[in-house]
Amino acid sequence: MAKVAAAAAFLLLCICEANAQTTPKERLTVGGYGEVALTRNFYNDSPYLYAKPSKYKDAPGHGRFDIPHAVIYIGYDFGKGWTMQSEIEFEHTGTGAALEREYEEAGEFEQEIEKGGEVELEQFWIQKSFLPQLNLRMGHIIVPVGGLNNSHEPLNFFTVYRPEGENTIFPSTWHDTGISLWGRAGAWRYEALMVAGLDGFMFNTDNFIKKGAGSPYEFKVANTYGFAARIDNYSVRNLRLSLSGYFGNTMHNTYPNDLHGEGLTYDKVRGPLGIGSFDFVYKGRRLTVRGNADYALLGDCAAISKAKAVRAANDSPYSSSPVGKAAYAAGIEAGYDILPWFNLRTDGQKLYVFGRGEAYNPYIPAEGQQSATYTQKVRIAAGINYMPVEQIAVKCEYSHRFLKSEYNPEPSISLGVAYMGFFNR
């Protein structure tokens, strides 16, 4: 009997040691996503394209090959409700500062200063889960305002590049440091966040608030704070309906803090920013439809434009282009899997034929501000997505961007391949 007990104890010890070796692997999550894009634009890339449109009507087009995003996920479950998630993103194959042409500044070449170059830590948070309905997340967090920021991975849209409207007017992917409270109960999911505020001096004509979440410093200035919220509903089968929004002041969120000194011109200016957004996804067996509608309103836009123009003259990272009082983006896309039509053995493969239409404007000026009608655009796209396996999509599309009648249309053809998945599942 003693020998049997000893043998059982030894076997139990071996099992415990085996579990101790395998459990950390089971708790580790590794994944990511990436995109490769090849594009031929049938319009010219001159910085005077919108200033002198008639001159460039028949000018030669240009091509671009790019890797917009390559991302690595690393997560770990520490147990007792504590988890960690990180997301490291490589943009456009590069690291360090990038040389860009500023079209709103007569095509000047500028060295774009980006925190950490073009390698970004998009997520790094530690989470404590108390209940499915109550989770506390602290660290660098995705701000899920709008459909794109909530679902920015490349298999969550049909186009080769990210949906153009939201990608133009909002930071994308919008990520910032703060605290998030979220949970899901039944058919409802909620999230509420407090994050570092946006910097109004980083806003501009062509992109509204897109660059406002960035920082040219080794830290993120947080003189002001932003508050965001999102609610998702899943009551209808295969359908998600969502509302999201943001509010925060955007002035004086600079370094050093400019609210101290004599004769301050803009000390009373706060630059309040409000955003409202609706988005939805329907994903059936063969039909997928996605849509969004976003509107943002910025107070004190004229004062911010004047103040940042002064700052721009001082070797600062800010541009002198004005920012408008409002911006909007609305779009819808639909794709249908036609592969079953051919009576082939598909083995999980899919072939979507899709179309997308969207309208957006990053610059709606306040009274007295200069106009910039070229910013108002409508874009249509059509093409195919072939998915040989669930985690990979080969994309091909034709797109056509329409501007006001005094400007030339902007057609293009793009080819892309993308993946998204977890490597240890």
The answer to whether residue 20 sits within a structural domain is: no
Strand 134-142 and strand 98-102: the pairing is unpaired
**Per-residue pLDDT at 381:** 98
Whether residue 410 is contained in a domain is answered as no
Q: Are 361 and 376 in contact (CB under 8 A)?
A: yes
Tally the C-alpha atoms within 13 A of residue 55's C-alpha that lie toward its C-beta: 8
Residue 351 counted as domain residue: no
Which CATH number belongs to the domain containing residue 162 in this structure?
2.40.160
In a domain, 240, yes or no: yes
How does strand 287-298 pair with strand 272-283?
antiparallel
Number of domain units in the chain: 1
The two beta strands, 119-131 and 392-402, are: unpaired
Tokens 């010219």 found at:
44
Whole-angstrom distance, CA of residue 385 vs CA of residue 218: 40
- Which residues span the domain enclosing 282? 34-331
Separation CA 398–CA 187 (nearest Å)? 37
Identify whether the C-beta of residue 358 lies closer than 8 Å to the C-beta of residue 334. no
Residue 419 included in any domain: no
pLDDT value of residue 310: 78
Torsion sign, CA atoms 388, 172, 168, 217: negative
Which token pair is 379? 């874009």
According to DSSP, residue 348 is labeled: T
pLDDT averages per 10-residue partition of the chain, 425 residues: 49 44 75 97 92 91 94 96 95 65 56 58 96 97 97 97 97 95 98 96 95 86 96 98 98 79 74 98 97 98 89 71 96 97 87 98 94 95 97 98 95 98 87
Query: Which one-letter amino acid corresponds to residue 280?
Result: F
Q: What is residue 203's three-state secondary structure?
A: coil
pLDDT tens-digit map of 152-202? 999 999 999 999 999 999 999 999 999 999 999 999 999 999 999 999 999
Q: Is residue 385 part of a domain?
A: no
CA distances from 289 to 61, 279, 415 (A): 32, 11, 21
Q: Is residue 421 part of a domain?
A: no
Residue at 296 is within a domain: yes
